[in-house]
Amino acid sequence: MPHYHFDLVNWKGIAYQGGADLADDIAAMDSADAIARRLLGERPELRKRYYAILVTNDDGAEVCRLPLEIIH
C-alpha cells in the first residue's frame, strides 16, 4: 500500500499534517479534502491566505495540491 505525505503550504512548507498508507492517489486526494475541511473548521482565516494541502507520495512526487480557498 503506498504511503502519502500531507503538508500545509503556501509559497513554502508551513506545517506537516501527517502521513498515511492509502490504497491509491484518489484515496490520498480524499484525505487531503478531509484535512483541509478540518483545518478550515479550526482556522477559517487560512482560506484567504493562499494556503493549500500538498500531497506527495513516498518518492516525493506531487500527487495533488488542494487550495483551501476552493473548499466550501
Domain count across the chain: 1
**CA 39, 45, 48, 50 torsion-angle sign:** negative
Longest CA pairwise span in the chain (Å): 35
Encode pLDDT of 33-62 as tens digits: 999 999 999 999 988 888 999 999 999 999
Q: Which helix (H) or strand (E) holds 34?
A: helix 25-42
- Domain span at 16: 3-70
Comparing 17 with 6, the larger pLDDT belongs to 6
> What is the pLDDT, as a whole number, of residue 33?
96
> What is the pLDDT, as a whole number, of residue 32?
96
Fill in the DSSP letter of residue 69: G
